[in-house]
Chains A and B, each alone.
Chain A
Amino acid sequence: MRTLAAKKTFDLKSFFLQWEWMLVIIFIIVFAINTSLSEYFLDAGLLVAATSTFLDKAFLVLPMVFIIILGDIDISVGSTVALSSVIMAVSYNAGLPMPLAMALCLVVSTACGYINGYLITKFEELSAVIVTLSTMIIYRGIALIILKDQASGSFPKWFGYLGWGSIGIVPFILIVFIIFAIIFFILLHKTTFGRRLYGMGNNATACYFSGVQVDKIKVTVFALTGLMAGVTALFLTSRMGSTRPNVATGYELDVITMVVLGGISTAGGKGNMTGAIMAMFLIGYLRYGLGLVNVPAQSLLIIIGLLLIFAVMVPNISSKFNKILSKKAAN
């Protein structure tokens, strides 16, 4: 009788060759550089406060991991945040009670995500890039139509608690993020749904023929991304106290950078949640630390752009290198 090695045995070498260790090393370097640059960096209170400033984007990182594992991309997330935030502000100021306005915000953002997913699955010849590119223009365009070039705000006082409140020293937003991160981690790594995402990312056709409802899962994932964009909109609006049609511009780039840096392959089917979350904190602290020593925002743009490219380049180059090596070994 043959035995099947269904369960992977623990291998020390491959454990230490994981991408996450690379992230840990970069993390330590970032902390070392930041600490040597500024004496204020390692202040616990400041660090926690800094964490809550970049956590709003973090809610988008979680579903974006799903989308990139599917081999798709969603660049309309920033616009979805703007549109749902604007609609929440306008409907509140038109007399809707705040809890209902917040619910409306989530409904609108989920609808935006659903529309993306619907278009991508219904017209599968179109790539996710072109669909979300056009909805990106449309969603922000609608936000512009609603609010023109004005800002809207004057929310009730308790709404500010979302972004600014804290339980003890731990910011409220961090607690919410941890809860969401655990949910998404379980979804991806412990459920059938998660396994199917990996399957679809590797070979969607094979999944379709083995009875996976490919389209349904895709629409769900895009709608989920919309929902999380709504959550981001809630926290972001709460932090800023008011909203404009141009909020969250460029979020898509930041989020995609974090996910790709986290070791999730843009070709689909590879990567895990831990890496993406680590990369999110990495970029967040890098920004905060360099901001402390007055590195201008434009230089940060360059650093983040380069980080994104290097994160994609390193595995590509190493796999090419491995191929050459194995060819030589075969000869």
Chain B
Amino acid sequence: MLKKLSFSGENVGKLREAGLVFFIIVLSLGVQLRNPSFLTLENINDLVTNTAILSILAVGMMLVIITRGIDLSIGATLALAGMSSAQLVGSYPDLHPILAILFGTLVGIICGAIVGGLIAKVDVLPIIATLGLMNVFRGVTFIISGGKWVSAHQMPVSFKAIATGKILGINTLIFIAIVIYIVFYYFINHTRTGRQIYATGSNPDSARISGIDTSKIIWMVYTIMGGLSGLAGVLWVSKFASAQGNTAAGYELNVIAACVLGGVNIAGGSGKISGLLMGTLLLGILNNALPLINVSPFWQNAIQGVVILTAVIINVIIKRKVDYNNLKRREI
């Protein structure tokens, strides 16, 4: 019985991913017909580079959502880490770029640890804690910058080169994203702590009873999320060569959208790296293709919102079908 259940669940997962791949292919072909410059090597390179930061953030967000949480503060964390590292390299132009990346990540980790501490130790609801801290981090960003931008000419060339440089012939952003995906694939599928994240999300009570320190897991997850947003912040600032107080405002919605499209269950407990990759790719293609086929930029928000809502609703409908079929099987 159990085997059958998990088998059908797996099937649906595969069906879902196949559907997503199919949708991506159809979408790409459709866009290609309207604008032949879509499937050129140059544009694909652009697309992947632009999606890299989103995909890094999506990994962290997936962990958070698996534990039944949500993090709305990542846009603000990203801005804070980006701004502080931009100011650091502004005042010490000789600093090695890797140190700047580490510094930004550290800022992010501290922010994430504060968020996680509130949620795990003081039992503040994730949405309330992250909504509140989003404002705090955003405010701190404005204060340390004095309301000013750090613009391209204030940054040393070595810092701006992070985003344009190449490692092993691949753009650094893409390279970092690939490394993160490999590391996290191993982490959540093949380590004890990684599996405990799933356990905590699918049933917190039984996870606690079976000896998992759930509050520690939750704290860790938000800290990882913070660290990844810090890293993304440095990459963002280096890529756009400017740091502003309102960098990435509202970007958390895109990240959540990528997770939801990638099949991460918003109720917690499930989500896979492979699905996530597809979700971010789909969102990246949407962002890249809509301007190419002359969709007005004013339409993009609404289209994105509708896509997210449709994705979550389709998820629910599929899940209901599966549960219903399983119930039927039980009758016999």
Contacts and interface: CB of A to CB of B under 8 A. Distances in A.
A305 B132 contact: yes
A298 B138 contact: yes
B43 to A, nearest CB: 25
B298 A145 contact: yes
A218 interface: no
Contacts of B245: 298
Given A129-B127, A130-B260, A298-B147, A140 B316 contact: no
A127 interface: yes
A212 to B, nearest CB: 24
Sort chain B's interface into a size bin. Answer: 35 or more
Given A123-B316, A302-B139, A304-B135, A138 B309 contact: yes
B127 to A, nearest CB: 6
A305 B312 contact: no
B133 A137 contact: no
Nearest to A256: B131
B312 A126 contact: yes
Contact of A141 (B125, B136, B303): B303
A140 B320 CA distance: 31
Sort chain A's interface into a size bin. Answer: 35 or more
Contacts of B127: 73, 129, 266
Q: Give the dominant DSSP class at A's interface.
A: helix
Contacts of B304: 137, 141
A284 B303 CA distance: 36
Nearest to A319: B123
Contacts of A52: none
A222 to B, nearest CB: 15
A308 interface: yes
Contact of A134 (B124, B135, B305, B316): B305
A156 B19 CA distance: 53
A133 B256 contact: yes
Interface of B: 70, 118, 122-125, 127-129, 131-136, 138-140, 142-143, 147, 245, 253, 256, 260, 266-267, 296, 298-306, 308-309, 312-313, 316, 319-320
29 contacts: A73-B127, A119-B313, A123-B316, A125-B316, A125-B319, A126-B312, A131-B312, A133-B256, A136-B305, A138-B301, A138-B302, A141-B299, A141-B300, A142-B302, A144-B298, A144-B299, A256-B128, A296-B147, A299-B143, A301-B135, A302-B135, A302-B143, A305-B135, A306-B136, A308-B131, A308-B135, A309-B118, A313-B124, A320-B123
